[in-house]
Structure 1
Amino acid sequence: MAPSDQSRHSLVPGFLYSSKIQSHLSNNTNHGLPLLPSSSSIASYSSSSSLPVQGGAKSPVILSPQEKIRLFSPAYYAACSAGGVFSCGLTHMAVTPLDLVKCNMQIDPVKYKNITSGFGVLLKEQGAKGFFRGWVPTLLGYSAQGACKFGFYEFFKKYYSDLAGPENAVKYKTIIYLAGSASAEVIADIALCPMEAVKVRVQTQPGFARGLSDGLPKFIKAEGASGLYKGIVPLWGRQIPYTMMKFASFETVVEMIYKNVIPVPKEKCSKNKQLGVSFAAGYIAGVLCAVVSHPADNLVSFLNNAKGATIGDAVKKIGVVGLFTRGLPLRIVMIGTLTGAQWGLYDSFKVFVGLPTTGGSAPAPVK
């Protein structure tokens, strides 16, 4: 193959797509390395394959049913980013009341002793409307974070797989999941940090501001524009381990469910069953995420609430044990539900635009 022809193809690690496609691609290799086929070859394969029938039509794995979205193309990453906006923005906004109580329990555990009393105090002092205080920066911040988190995860997962090569990509796929999610989260938190800073200040300091429109100018006036990123290091400390656990454990649990619980391959499962697997695996991943990232979450809440505070001040005030335990039960419930819903919504969006759900295709043996 001439270099100009070779440059039009990409190496596709086996665990990124269906094992049926891998078997098909093994007959079309360049020096033993599988290539991403052209639209015409995929269309030809789709029409003759035994993949599940959806709505009376064959459902190709690499391309959407409309054959408009090609895996690993700019349109594919754009679709994944849009799915991230849809899943993260809406879910975080929906759990704003839980997040509000959690943040206040972390800042003032004497006043907000537990979940029940926390909701009672907020209802008494601020009324029912107070439960959604800070919902605008929550929606905007986590929508931006979701776009970067999911879009760049898909990008880095493919990028690192290409660097490793097909054999190593399959052998070290968990490391690739971890590296890809960590890289994506570094970018995602830069997008999230300003809105997170305003959100915490609005939620934990009554009378500071009604929301984003007046809270952002007040915050910048008090802390300066650079103050919006005062919590970036602890935010990375919270979100990077969280996201590494979120994606790597999700991918692993999905694969385990299809291997040990469901007696048929993923490709033969209905879309509804696949989405059920996504939610279940997401919930399990969310519980693990909450435990891993909780100490840093306490630090973020403390630093964004107290002007001029340092990490040392937070550890001294909260205590080492408190960093791991304060507000943890509520956060497990919140993050478990949140993460399960996010994966369900994300994969629902992918199905809606004609893409396969995430994970679960067993890799073919490397020869």
Structure 2
Amino acid sequence: MATPFVVPQFSTKDYSSFFTAGALCCTVTHGGMTPIDVIKTRIQIDPALKGHSLLSGGRLIVANEGPAALLTGFGPTAVGYLVQGGAKFAGYEYWKKQFVQIAGSQEAAVGHRTAIYLGASSVAEFFADILLTPLEATRIRLVSERGYASGLTTGFMRLAREEGVAGLYAGFLPILCKQIPYAIGQFTVNEFCHELVFRNMSDEKRASLSGGTKFTISLGSGVIAGFAAAILSQPADTLLSQINKGHGPSGSMAYRLVTLGRQAGVRGLFAGLGPRMVMTAGLVSGQFLLYGVVKDMLGAPPGLEIHKETSVKL
């Protein structure tokens, strides 16, 4: 018989702590990765940089435009991922708890843990992307069109003035196609990496782990999750850059995405994957490490664990 269980009821303060921790970890990591993201985006959309590596592409940009060019789009990146990161991490904690409650028992939650991870990360990311999309559109426009605007505020206002809501959300569908697989890779793979490590470890041994061991586990899990997130989301990331640059035919967004995808081919869709894997591994591992640190500083409770051997950790 299925064993009933009690799921902790996180308070508003708990969720505000989750939001704050997620916001800080994402804005710090994404902001710090701005130079790599600039190079990656330019490799995707600039014919002069096509085929370049991260190092050679960066050197070419600096030689032609100066070092400051590598910080283009820092403002919208930092602000965009501040709100997106908070909504994503807090949302994941919220929806994972909701789906565990729907499961109704420890056995059911453990048995359907993959579906819970997928559902929680997808729903959380959907709502987070509503906040992110206009700022991501501004960032890509600043990176792809030199002289478009002087920064976040002027770029956002120009895009809103010239193209309206349609322009700000032109990339909403492709960003969903990019960010939802990204979140799935980030959270689901990280959960299973931790499960693999802790599967045969007693609660006593786990509680006695040193800080260095915990750091190594979190770092390794985050790097692997980052690789998965990069691979899963790369095709849509390329299409998002193309859409915000204004490439492709007119018509519905779905038609434009299909057409651009056919034109790019498999090789084109995965252009810049190497630099992005490096960037994403650093992003995801850094985010989980910082998220845990900030949560501890704020006194936030741990999230639910639905590992196979340990059932639901309450």
1:76 to 4, 14, 18: 14
Q: Please identify the structure whose Cα radius of gyration is greater.
A: 1
> Mean alpha-carbon deviation: is it higher for 337-346 or for 258-267?
258-267
Question: Aligned partners of 2:235 and 2:222: how far apart in 1?
Answer: 21
Aligned to 1:321: 267
2:40 to 102, 106, 111: 102
Aligned to 1:285: 225
How many residues are matched?
A: 301
Alignment of 1:60-139 (within 5 A): 72-112=10-50, 113-139=52-78
> Mean alpha-carbon deviation: is it higher for 215-224 or for 79-88?
215-224
Question: Aligned partners of 1:217 and 1:364: how far apart in 2?
Answer: 50
In the alignment, is the contact (CA less than 8 A) between 2:62 and 2:70 conserved in 1?
Answer: yes
Larger proportion of helix: 2
Aligned to 2:125: 185
1:84-126 deviation digits (Å, cap 9, x = unpaired): 0011111000000000000000002443422222112211222
Alignment of 1:270-349 (within 5 A): 270-306=210-246, 309=249, 310-323=256-269, 325-349=270-294
- Letter paired with 2:70: F
| Unpaired stretches in structure 2, ≥5 consecutive residues | 250-255
Alignment of 1:12-51 (within 5 A): 33-35=4-6
1:12-64 deviation digits (Å, cap 9, x = unpaired): xxxxxxxxxxxxxxxxxxx952336xxxxxxxxxxxxxxxxxxxxxxxxxxxx
Q: Secondary structure at the match of 1:35?
A: coil
Aligned to 2:84: 145
| Unpaired stretches in structure 1, ≥5 consecutive residues | 1-30, 37-69
Q: Secondary structure at the match of 1:329?
A: helix
Q: 1:164 to 1:261 in 2, by over 3 A?
A: closer
TM-score (norm 2): 0.88
Q: Secondary structure at the match of 1:207?
A: coil
Question: Aligned partners of 1:277 and 1:140: how far apart in 2?
Answer: 30
Q: Secondary structure at the match of 2:199?
A: helix
Aligned to 2:145: 205
Question: Aligned partners of 1:287 and 1:264: how far apart in 2?
Answer: 31
Deviation (angstroms), 1:204: 1.0
Question: Aligned partners of 1:298 and 1:317: how far apart in 2?
Answer: 12
Aligned to 1:15: none
1:241 to 167, 181, 185: 181
1:214-252 deviation digits (Å, cap 9, x = unpaired): 111221233222211110111000110110121111011
Deviation (angstroms), 1:317: 3.8
Question: Aligned partners of 1:360 and 1:163: how far apart in 2?
Answer: 14
TM-score (norm 1): 0.76
Greater RCO, 1 or 2 (C-alpha within 8 Å, sep 6+):
2
Cα RMSD over matched residues? Answer: 2.3
Deviation (angstroms), 1:137: 0.2
1:326-360 deviation digits (Å, cap 9, x = unpaired): 00000010001110000110011122223455658
Question: Aligned partners of 2:298 and 2:123: how far apart in 1?
Answer: 26
- Letter paired with 2:268: G
